[in-house]
C-alpha cells in the first residue's frame, strides 16, 4: 500500500517527498522479502544448499540497496559538485644518477 500526501508531510516511509513513494523503493523491499523467503524455503524443501539458494543470497544486497535509497543519485539536487584539483609539486630533475651497482651490493644480475 503506497501513500500519497500533500507537499511537506511525511509519506509512508517517512521522507518528505511530495506525491507517491517511488516505486523503486517499494519494489526493492518486496524483492528483498521475496529473496529471504525463497532462500529459507528452498533448503527446507530440497534438504541441501543449492546453487539457486546461493544466487538468492547474492542478490539480497542489491535488492536491499535499492530499497534503502529513496532518491536516485541522478535526482539529487542538494549535493554540490566536487571539483578535484591536483597540486603540482615542482621536482628538480637533474641528470644525476646515484644508484648503487647491484653487483657490488651482492645482487644477482638477471639473465634474460
Q: Is residue 35 part of a domain?
A: yes
**Residue 25 and residue 31: Cα distance in Å, rounded?**
10
**Residue 112 and residue 109: Cα distance in Å, rounded?**
10
The candidate with the shortest Cα–Cα distance to 34, out of 67, 13, 60, is: 60
Q: Is residue 110 part of a domain?
A: no
Q: Is residue 64 part of a domain?
A: yes
Per-residue model confidence as pLDDT tens digits over 52-76: 999 999 999 999 988 888 776 666 6
Which residues is 20 bridged to in the sheet? 4
Q: Is residue 65 part of a domain?
A: yes
Q: Is residue 109 part of a domain?
A: no
Q: Is residue 62 part of a domain?
A: yes
Are 42 and 56 in contact, with CB atoms under 8 Å apart?
Answer: yes
Task: Dump the DSSP string for the chain.
Answer: ---EE-TTS--TTS---SEEPPHHHHHHHHHHHHHHHHHHHHHHHHSS--HHHHHHHHHHHHHHHHHH--S-GGG--SSPPPPP-PPPPP----S---PPPTTTTTPPPP--
Per-residue model confidence as pLDDT tens digits over 5-45: 444 444 444 454 544 567 888 898 999 999 999 999 999 99
Q: What is the pLDDT of residue 34?
A: 95
Q: Is residue 36 part of a domain?
A: yes
* Cβ neighbours around 62 below 10 Å, total: 13
**Is the pLDDT assigned to residue 109 strictly greater than 70?**
yes
Domain assignment of residue 29, given as a range: 21-70
Q: What is the pLDDT of residue 51?
A: 93
Q: Is residue 83 part of a domain?
A: no
Tally of structural domains, the chain: 1
Amino acid at each position: 500500500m503506497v501513500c500519497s500526501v500533500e507537499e511537506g508531510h511525511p509519506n509512508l516511509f517517512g521522507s518528505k517527498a511530495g506525491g507517491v513513494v517511488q516505486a523503486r523503493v517499494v519494489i526493492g523491499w518486496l524483492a528483498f522479502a521475496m529473496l529471504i523467503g525463497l532462500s529459507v524455503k528452498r533448503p527446507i524443501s530440497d534438504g541441501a544448499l543449492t546453487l539457486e539458494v546461493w544466487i538468492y543470497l547474492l542478490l539480497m544486497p542489491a535488492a536491499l540497496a535499492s530499497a534503502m535509497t529513496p532518491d536516485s543519485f541522478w535526482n539529487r539536487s542538494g549535493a554540490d559538485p566536487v571539483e578535484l584539483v591536483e597540486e603540482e609539486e615542482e621536482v628538480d630533475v637533474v641528470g644525476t644518477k646515484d644508484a648503487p651497482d647491484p653487483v657490488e651490493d651482492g645482487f644477482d644480475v638477471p639473465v634474460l
